[in-house]
Amino acid sequence: MSVAVISLGGKQFTVSPGKIIRVSRLTKAVDEVFEVADLLTGKKVEAQIVEQLKGDKITVLKFKNKARYLRRIGFRPLLTKVKINKIAE
């Protein structure tokens, strides 16, 4: 079983063929196939965009004690599902 470490969306992922990962939004079309280089060995990793979606809601809470200050804000991050098709040997 081949394993690679790739960098997508500013984060690093350990991937193997057939694995689906969620990364920060990529500006590519759905079903587009692209290549990423393995960070350790330089192997080519073929990946495919599966879906563009919004993530779960993240709530941020600011609170100051004894000042009657409470602020709630939230957002849903934009994500991309990427499927790893193959890792070149």
Tens digit of pLDDT per residue, the chain (89 long)? 689 999 998 899 999 999 999 999 999 999 999 999 999 999 999 999 999 999 999 999 999 999 999 999 999 999 999 999 999 97
Number of helices (H) and strands (E), helices first, in the chain?
Answer: 0, 8
Structure tokens, 12: 């690093």
- Closest by CA to 48, choosing from 8, 86, 1, 84, is 84
Q: Measured between alpha carbons, how far is 89 from 38 in angstroms, rounded to an integer? A: 11
Domain boundaries, the chain: 4-87
pTM of the shown model: 0.83
Q: How many CB atoms lie within 10 A of CB 64?
A: 9
